Amino acid sequence: MIKANDPKLRSWVNVPEGSDFPIQNLPFGIFSTSNRSERVGIAIGEQILDLVAVAEFGYFDAIRFDKKVFNQPTLNNFIALGKEITTSVRNRVSELLEEKTKALQGQAGAREKCLVKMKDAQLHLPVHIGDYTDFYSSIDHATNMGKMFRDPENALLPNWKHIPVGYHGRASSIVVSGGSFFRPKGQTKAPDANVPSFGPTKSLDFELETAFIIGKSTQMGDSISTEKADDFIFGMVLFNDWSARDIQAWEYVPLGPFLAKNFCSVISAWIVTLDALEPFRVPGYKQEPTVLPYLEYSGEKNIAIHLEVSICPEKKSETIVSRSDYKYMYWTMEQQLAHHTVNGCNMNVGDMLASGTISGPEEGSYGSMMEITWRGTKPVKMSDGSERKFINDNDSVIIRGWAEKDGVRVGFGECSSKVLAAKE
């Protein structure tokens, strides 16, 4: 086990019970305050460790790299240093924050400059995302969609168990948790109408997803094996891939998702490293029929991450509408990456590859309103008595996720966003 993941570690920084950010996590993000420009930080309890300040005090002197990478508005240049450096930085921070280490703890002046209260900080999009790909890798989600829209007896298309199906998304409209966006407008066509009409979507939906951030670039022509894939994955975030189902239904043939998907997607602010998630690896689904050799893998490559979605109408309390888990993925991140690069497609640091909607096998664990309300036929009740088939104006949708084992909870914080009425 990586020492920084030891469940016995405790920090001298207060970590409240149930916090997503104990010393075993140490996720990276970008923050600013009224007197600190955008820079790299690490979440610990309810505080942020300012890595610019930590470097200025010389606490990273034993690790050789240009410390300027911390004083930048994205993590790209830091991540590009490679895991040898980024893992060493996380390990060093673990050492510094460990309760017996006095180096920083014992220096009141330095301590004050290095720690910032999270509530006084603004969190920013942590990476410049060059390219974004979305997969369709949850078997329960793909089966539900197939049952609803095609044939209940043959819900999965013939390619599904052979190819991690995916499409290229759009990076420009990916934003960090905590913001709002306008309900998208577009063309839709009701089944009984002869011609399409134009207007705000009537079926705005969330997609419960996670995504991983590429940590190492490749050249065109290179392929990444499932065995080497983890070297290329820096870490994970929660991801809400907002979708307009009525626009999607009319536009998607024959080239797939377009305007129904590219108006807003939201990620959580902290990138949880693959290092921090290693203790939570679990076996995946048995893959039958056998996959082609370039997709074979060994070992436990799924990860148990409990996922929850809640809807919060304006000025009301939240209602949890889904409890799912990342362990339900059929295709692993390693297989997705091997597949994505098998043709020689190159990857760049900061690229983001998303899971696709993550549904579990049972009702209550579905990752979209489309499935939860079964195409709107079974509305869900909110705690304020109102009902939802899809997401209303002024509703916020909040995704939370955490891995938990041996009394350690490695969480992601929130991935939240609010829907505003369509822009005039």
For Mn ion, give the closer residue by CB, 207 or 325.
Answer: 207
**Which of the residues 128, 141, 162, 168 is marked catalytic?**
141
Sign of CA dihedral 405, 407, 410, 411: positive
Contact region with Mn ion (CB under 5 A), list: 40-48, 134-142, 336-344, 389-397: 134-142
For Mn ion, give the closer residue by CB, 140 or 207.
Answer: 207
CA distances from 144 to 208, 242, 367 (A): 14, 18, 11
Kindly state whether residue 246 participates in binding Mn ion, applying the rule CB under 5 A. no
Q: Least distance (Å) from Mn ion to the CB of residue 71? A: 34
Q: What strands, in cross-sheet order, belong to the sheet with 408-420?
A: 179-182, 408-420, 396-405, 306-312, 319-325
Contact region with Mn ion (CB under 5 A), list: 42-50, 103-111, 129-137, 329-337: 129-137
Q: Least distance (Å) from Mn ion to the CB of residue 354? A: 6
Of 50, 134, 325, 351, the one binding Mn ion by CB under 5 A: 134
Contact region with Mn ion (CB under 5 A), list: 85-93, 133-141, 301-309, 325-333: 133-141
For Mn ion, give the closer residue by CB, 45 or 166.
Answer: 166
For Mn ion, give the closer residue by CB, 24 or 201.
Answer: 201
Tell me how long the chain is: 424
Q: What is the spatial distance between Cα 20 and Cα 402, in angstroms, rounded to a whole number?
A: 7
Active site residue 141: yes
Of residues 107 through 126, those in contact with Mn ion by CB under 5 A are: none
Q: Least distance (Å) from Mn ion to the CB of residue 357? A: 6
Q: Is the distance from CB of 55 to CB of 39 less than 8 angstroms? A: no
- The tokens 């078997």 sit on which residue? 139
Kindly state whether residue 205 participates in binding Mn ion, applying the rule CB under 5 A. no
Contact region with Mn ion (CB under 5 A), list: 77-85, 127-135, 181-189, 317-325: 127-135
- Three-point CA angle 35, 125, 46, nearest 5°: 60
Q: Least distance (Å) from Mn ion to the CB of residue 128? A: 21
Contact region with Mn ion (CB under 5 A), list: 26-34, 174-182, 202-210, 277-285: 202-210
Q: Least distance (Å) from Mn ion to the CB of residue 61? A: 43
Residue 413 Rama label (left phi>0; alpha psi -120 to 50; beta): left
Q: What is the spatial distance between Cα 423 and Cα 290, in angstroms, rounded to a whole number?
A: 49
Residues 6+ apart with CB under 8 A from 378: 372
Of 20, 50, 205, 207, the one binding Mn ion by CB under 5 A: 207
Kindly state whether residue 241 participates in binding Mn ion, applying the rule CB under 5 A. yes
CB atoms within 10 A of CB 169: 21
Residue 400 token pair: 């939370």
CB atoms within 10 A of CB 86: 22
* Chain Cα centroid distance, residue 291: 26
Go through 110-143 and write b for each residue having 16 or more CB atoms within 10 A of its CB, e for each that does not: beebbbbebeebebbbbbbbebbbbbbbbbbbbb
For Mn ion, give the closer residue by CB, 98 or 241.
Answer: 241
Q: Least distance (Å) from Mn ion to the CB of residue 243? A: 7
Count of positions on this chain that bind Mn ion (CB under 5 A): 3
CA distances from 270 to 28, 34, 56, 236 (A): 6, 20, 23, 8
Of residues 56 through 85, those in contact with Mn ion by CB under 5 A are: none
For Mn ion, give the closer residue by CB, 21 or 132.
Answer: 132
Closest residue to Mn ion, based on beta-carbon distance: 241
Q: Least distance (Å) from Mn ion to the CB of residue 245? A: 12
For Mn ion, give the closer residue by CB, 94 or 133.
Answer: 133
Go through 190-223 and write b for each residue having 16 or more CB atoms within 10 A of its CB, e for each that does not: eeeeeeeeeebbebbbbbbbbbbbbbbebeeeeb
Please list the active-site residues. Answer: 141
Which positions touch Mn ion (CB under 5 A)? 134, 207, 241
